Structure 1
Amino acid sequence: MRLFIAIELPDGLKRAFAGLRTPIPGARWVPPEQIHLTLAFLGEVEETAVGHLHDELSRIRIPSFKLRPAGTGCFPGRQRARVLWVGLEPEPHLRDLAAAVQSVLLACGIPQEERPFSPHITLARLKLPAPREVGLFLSGEPKHAFPLVPVREFILFQSRLSSAGAQHVPLHSFPLT
C-alpha cells in the first residue's frame, strides 16, 4: 500500500489555493480536493504493517493548534523550480507533530526521508523549468492573505494510483489532544 500521513485542510482554503493558479507551461496543478499538508510520505508499506503503524500513531499526544498559511515559494529554486507551494508561519506544535510521526516511522522500521521536515502545501509540480512564469507566480504572493487553520487531527492516507491520477483514501484519523 502506498501511504502518507497528512493534515487535511478546509475546503474553502483548498479553493483559495486553487485560485492561485497561473499559466505555467508543463505545470501539473494539484486538484483542490487533494491539497493537504504532508507530514510524512511512507511510500509502499506492507498491508500487514498498517495495524502496528496505527497503534503507534494513536499514541502520539500533541495538543491541537492553528496554522497560518503565509507566502508562496518553490523548490529547489526559481531557475529550476519543480514544486510550487504555499508556506506556513512557524508553529511549534506542527514541528512536534512531525517529529513524533518520524519517531513512529523509525520505531515501525519504515524508512524516512533524508531531508528535514519543511512544512509547505504543494500546489503544483513542474516538468520543465519556467523561471519567468514562476517569477510571476511568486510575485503575486503578497496579495494573498489566508485565514488561520485549526488542526485537530492528522490522517493516515492511502494513495491509489490509476490512469486518472492519484486518489487519496483516508484510512485512519488520529485526534490531537
Structure 2
Amino acid sequence: MARLFFALEIPAPVKKGLLNVAAPVAGAKWQHASQLHLTLLFLGNVDRESLPEISSALKELPLAGFELEVRGVGCFGRPETPRNVWAGVCPEPPVVALHGILKERLGHLGFHFEKRPFRPHITLARFRKQRGSVAGVLAAHREGCFGAFLVEEFVLLESTQGGSGSVYTVVERFPLANSLDETADSHQR
C-alpha cells in the first residue's frame, strides 16, 4: 500500500519566498522547501496494483496549462488558535476545475473523497495541540505576492513519514494540454 495524493509542484523561486513567512509561533511546524506543494486530491492508502488503472483514467485531460500566482497568507481556524497557515493562489477556477476532473474520473474507479469544499492553498505550517497566535504573520503577509508560474503538469505523490515530517516522492507526472503561447521566461518568474 502507498499513501498517495495528486498535487501541483511549486517552483524553487516561489518556495524561497514562501519560506520567508516562517516566524517563531508556539506549536507551529513550518514546512520545509521539499514539503511545499498544492494538494489537488488526496487518495489515501492505495494498492500499487491500482496505479496503471489510475494512470489510464487521467490520460489526455481536457484542460490546458495555466498561469498561477501565489498570493496572500491566511489560516484555517481562528488566528489565535490556527490549525494551519497557508498561502493562497489565483486564479482559483483552473485549479478547482482540475480538482473536479480528477475527482470525477477517479470516482468512477471507486475512490471516495471528503465532502468539504475544495479550497486551493499551499500549507506553510501545521499545528498540533499547542497553538500560538498567527495574527502577526497574517498581518505581515496577508497581501504578499510570492511569484507566478506556468502550470503545465500535475503529479501523483507518495507520502512517507520521515524523521522531520512527511517526505514526498513523485510517482508519476501528468501533462496538461499545452495551449498557452508562453515563452520559457514564464518558468523563471
Which TM-score band (shorter chain)?
over 0.9
Structure 1 residue 20: Cα displacement: 0.8
Once the two structures are TM-superposed, the CA of residue 10 in structure 1 deviates from its matched residue by: 0.4
Structure 2 CA distance for partners of 1:98 and 1:171, relative to 1, 3 Å: same
Query: Structure 1 residues 97, 143: closer, same or farther in 2, change over 3 A?
Result: closer
- Contact kept, 8 Å, 1:2 with 1:159, in 2: the verdict is yes
Structure 1: segments with no counterpart, 5+ residues: none
The residue type equivalent to 2:49 in the other structure is T
Structure 1 stretches of at least 4 aligned residues deviating more than 4 Å after TM superposition: none
- How many residues of Structure 1 are paired with residues of Structure 2 in the alignment? 175
The 5-angstrom pairing of residues 30-49 of structure 1 reads 30-49=31-50
The TM-score with structure 2 as length reference comes to 0.87
1:6 aligns with 2:7: yes
* Deviation sequence 1:52-81 (CA, Å, 0-9, x none): 011111242210001111211101222321
Q: Using structure 1 for the length normalisation, give the TM-score.
A: 0.93
Please state whether the residue corresponding to 2:80 is helix, strand or coil.
helix
Q: Deviations over 1:87-133 (max 9, x none)?
A: 112332222111101112211211201111100000000122222xx
Q: C-alpha separation between the residues in 1 aligned to 2:165 and 2:78?
A: 26
Superposed, 1:157-168 pairs within 5 Å as: 157-168=157-168
* Structure (1 or 2) with the greater helix fraction: 1
Cα deviation digits, residues 17-51 of structure 1 (max 9, x gap): 01110101111111111100110111101111111
Q: Does 1:81 align with 2:82?
A: yes
Aligned mates of 2:80, 2:106 — CA distance in 1? 34
Where in structure 2 are there 5+ consecutive unaligned residues? 178-189
Indicate whether 1:149 and 2:152 are aligned: no
Which residue number corresponds to residue 122 of structure 1? 123
Q: CA RMSD in A?
A: 1.4
Name which of structure 1's ranges 82-91 and 140-149 shifts more when overlaid on structure 2. Answer: 140-149
